[in-house]
């Protein structure tokens, strides 16, 4: 499957305004595709107020079938936990001036987006046709979380299905490096230049306010620094190959997914999308 691109001019103009120390308003139509409710705040939270036209898609509901996370957060069911996470992200996005009407939820169960790659791609293609964003900002394919990798697959595959695809920009999430979780950094890639924003004090304070909305995710968010945000133009991925050598970060956990299984599902999805 070939992923069409708009070229790099729009991305370069966007990067120029994005990294302007005066932090001007950003007028591009932007769609953020995040794996879970809070990923947008982690990756691009300090910039959200700058967008004049921004919508957010959450691929999953943030609540795994295994109730361990819900119980640990003090909820009696996965459904209650998902509802709490939805309330939290609505509050955080409202702080950034993004209304609930600009929030789109695909409501796939947390940790299961990889099992629904075709449906995910088709849903994102419909949203791209409807919203017609200039830019889509999403996760890199890095083996950090299978839902993040599924979101990346869905964005790239959906862009290949439509006549006028948007530019794809990546925000950081996390991946495995030297046996530990590396956050707020990308895996090395010579294809794409990284734009690093050292956040000013008001931006740090604002991002902290957004993080504080996520009471259920406090321990998770403590792993992510709030003093820097990084972006790059998405490289050309082959989702049938591993994102890096060795073990993937999510393979350390009982998510019911492995790297080989993800790549098998990606192969199957590509075949189905080509056939249709």
* Full 3-state SS string of 118-175: HHHHHHHHHHHHHHCCCEEEECCCCCCCHHHHHHHHHHHHHHHHCCCCCEEEEECCEE
Q: Is residue 271 situated within a structural domain?
A: yes
pLDDT for res 5? 42
Q: Tens-digit pLDDT profile for the chain (276 aa)?
A: 333 344 468 888 899 999 999 999 999 999 999 999 999 999 999 999 999 999 999 999 999 999 999 999 999 999 999 999 999 999 999 999 999 999 999 999 999 999 999 999 999 999 999 999 999 999 999 999 999 999 999 999 999 999 999 999 999 999 999 999 999 999 999 888 899 999 999 999 999 999 999 999 999 999 999 999 999 999 999 999 999 999 999 999 999 999 999 999 999 999 999 998
Q: Is residue 2 situated within a structural domain?
A: no
Q: Is residue 189 situated within a structural domain?
A: yes
pLDDT for res 191? 83
What is the residue whose two structure tokens read 């993080």?
A: 211
Domain with 193 in it: 9-275
The span from the CA of 174 to the CA of 248, in Å, is: 11
CATH number of the CATH domain containing 43: 3.40.50.10320
What's the structural domain count of the chain? 1
pLDDT for res 3? 37
Q: Is residue 3 situated within a structural domain?
A: no
Q: Is residue 1 situated within a structural domain?
A: no
Predicted structure pTM score: 0.95
The span from the CA of 260 to the CA of 147, in Å, is: 15
Angle at 108 between CA 156 and CA 47, to 5 degrees: 60
Q: Is residue 233 situated within a structural domain?
A: yes
What is the residue whose two structure tokens read 């964003």?
A: 133
The span from the CA of 156 to the CA of 239, in Å, is: 10
What is the residue whose two structure tokens read 């999308």?
A: 273
């Amino acid at each position: 499957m070939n992923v069409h691109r708009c070229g790099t001019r729009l991305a370069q103009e966007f990067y120029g305004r994005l990294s302007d120390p005066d932090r001007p308003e950003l007028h591009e139509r932007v769609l953020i595709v995040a794996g879970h409710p809070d990923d947008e705040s982690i990756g691009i939270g300090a910039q959200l107020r700058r967008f004049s036209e921004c919508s957010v898609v959450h691929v999953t509901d943030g609540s795994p079938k295994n109730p361990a996370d819900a119980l640990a957060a003090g909820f009696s069911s996965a459904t209650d936990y998902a509802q709490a996470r939805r309330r939290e992200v609505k509050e955080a996005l409202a702080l950034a001036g993004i209304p609930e009407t600009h929030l789109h939820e695909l409501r796939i169960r947390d940790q299961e987006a990889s099992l629904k790659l075709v449906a995910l791609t088709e849903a994102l293609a419909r949203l791209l046709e409807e919203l017609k964003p200039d830019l889509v900002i999403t996760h890199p394919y890095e083996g950090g979380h299978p839902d993040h990798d599924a979101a990346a697959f869905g964005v790239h595959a959906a862009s290949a299905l439509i006549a006028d695809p948007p530019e794809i920009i990546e925000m950081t999430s996390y991946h495995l490096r030297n046996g530990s979780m590396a956050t707020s950094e990308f895996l090395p890639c010579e294809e794409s230049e990284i734009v690093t924003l050292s956040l000013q004090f008001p931006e740090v304070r604002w991002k902290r306010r957004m993080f504080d909305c996520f009471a259920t995710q406090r321990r998770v968010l403590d792993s992510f620094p709030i003093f820097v945000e990084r972006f790059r133009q998405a490289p050309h991925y082959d989702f049938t190959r591993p994102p890096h050598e060795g073990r993937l970060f999510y393979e350390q956990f009982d998510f019911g997914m492995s790297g080989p299984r993800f790549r098998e599902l990606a192969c199957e999805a590509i075949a189905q999308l080509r056939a249709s």
